[in-house]
């Protein structure tokens, strides 16, 4: 995809409801897992 079209396509997809339910942020780090990196451990 051409870089100059990325934002336009994202807005179109969001308007069409395709991007709904993508509301995960730092809660992904709430569950520690075996083999997590030092960075993941520090922000948890």
26's CB contacts (< 8 A; 6+ apart) are 43
Q: What is the pLDDT of residues 1-30, one digit of tens each?
A: 899 999 999 888 888 877 766 566 777 767
Tell me, what's the pLDDT at 44?
60
First to last CA, the chain: 35
| Cα 41 from Cα 24, distance rounded (Å) | 18
Question: At 38, is the pLDDT very low, low, confident or very high (cuts 50, 70, 90)?
Answer: confident
| Cα 41 from Cα 21, distance rounded (Å) | 26
């Amino acid at each position: 995809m051409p870089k100059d079209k990325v934002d336009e396509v994202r807005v179109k997809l969001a308007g069409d409801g395709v991007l709904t339910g993508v509301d995960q942020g730092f809660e992904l780090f709430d569950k520690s897992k075996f083999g997590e990196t030092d960075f993941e451990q520090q922000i948890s």
